[in-house]
Structure 1
Amino acid sequence: MFQNNGGVINSRKRKEVATNGDSTPARTPFSLQNQRPPQSSLSAALLNRQPPPPAPSQTRSMPFLSFTSLLTDDRSLEIVEQSDQIDEIIKTHSEQLRRKLAEKWMGYYNTLLCAAEESASKKLREREQDLEKTMRMKEQLFQNIAAQSSAEAQAWQAKAQKLEEQTASLSAKLQKANMRRVCGEGGSRQGCAFPEDSESSSADPDRVELVNLACKACRNQVATVMLWPCHHLSVCKECDVVSRQCPVCLAIKTSSVEVCLP
């Protein structure tokens, strides 16, 4: 009985399912158009719908979200301030770096300038020293030339003085000899004060000897002409014109000098 009733019930359920299946249209899987409710019913549902009460966990998290938003705003302001501070620090350091570089370059420039001035002054001092050395050498050369010229002048002066002394000595000796002749010392003939000497008077000019002052050519006039190169006072002025050699030593006459006797 239970089985028959169960069979009847099951058969009824199958019929209802079949009837419902025939009345409802077939639904396409994953189709959103067939699932849209009518516009009027959707609007009414939205109007009548009330928001569900917040869950306990959501009510607890709302203050946290507002505080986080406040923190986010504060953080943004802090970031902006820090960015401004960083920019200011960078600007300050850049200015300091620029000043330091400028000071460094200025110091380098001053160093180069000092080195250049020192080098120029050193070269100038060297040039001045070379000029002073040249001037000293020139002055020393002039002094040497002056000293040499003075020494040569003194030497020539000494020679001239010596020649003057010799000339004075010869003149004195000749004067003495003439005085002896005039006074008649040591001779008996007229115009002869000393014995005749045939030797050349140039052998020893400092030796004083008695000479015959008569002309050896004419024997009439006093011998007043000295012949060269033998230096014999042997002829008179008239005989000197015609004579070609010395009548004492027979040497060829090259020139003659008239001696002025006192």
Structure 2
Amino acid sequence: MHSVTDPVGNSISPLNYTRKDHAANMDRSTKRFREAESFSKEQKHPITLSDKIYPDEAGHSGSIFNPNPVSTGLKLSYEEDEHNSSVTSASESMTAALPLILSLGDNFKGEFDRQKEEFDHYIRIQEENMTKGVRELRQRHTAAFLSAVEKGVGKKLHEKDLELENMNRKNKELEERVKQVTAEVQSWHYRAKYNESVVNVLKSNLQQVMAQGTMQGKEGCGDSEVDDAASYTNQNHLSFVDGFGTSGVTRNQMTCKSCKIKEVSILLWPCKHLCLCKDCAAFIDVCPLCNMRRTGLVQVYMC
């Protein structure tokens, strides 16, 4: 077995070197373990003010509580057991706390779901209210628009009805006017025919009177004074043919039968009596000779 020389110059056998190396490793492990143990104790038992003030008493009390120190191997085994027990207790506490954590998670999830459901319900209610409000607003606008249109149409219809009534009234007035004009035209037509017939009658009567006057003049030529007196008397008479065809009417009979003063100049129709003057014919509607109601009159101009 070969020996190894250290840096100082001492020869060291491989076996001794291995033992020393193992011992050094053990020392380092023990040192690290003690440091860890001291740190753990400091964590479990924090340093108080008395420890800082009386460090010697603390070391003395430590020597009192540990009169019999334990070997390194036993202490390492004890620390490992303590470490394992702490890990086990931590795992057990975690295992015991796991259901609580899970229950908290379930409770949180349930609360979250409930809050989400309430929020969705609130949003749904607000959406329904908004939709309802928009619908009501649209209905009100539609109703107002229809009401305005109805009022406008009603006003226009009322105006058209008034125009139609005015047109109907004017048409009736025109119809009445046409009827009146037609009646007047017919009346004037009948009056024209009547006047024509009266003119024809008067012409015939005048011709007869003129013929009789001529004959009387011829008979009076060359007669005696008696005849001249009779002829003079006859000049005060008017030979006139009345409506009934009689002749030889005196001047007294040619006066108005109403006022008895003025000369007759109005021929009544249909009785054909020449018996009224122009002034009396304006307010007398009945013939004073036959009491027949007149329907017309003709003015006669006596020569």
TM-score if structure 1 supplies the norm length? 0.50
Q: 1 or 2 for the larger relative contact order (CA 8 Å, sep ≥6)? A: 1
Between Structure 1 and Structure 2, the one with more helix by share is 2
TM-score if structure 2 supplies the norm length? 0.45
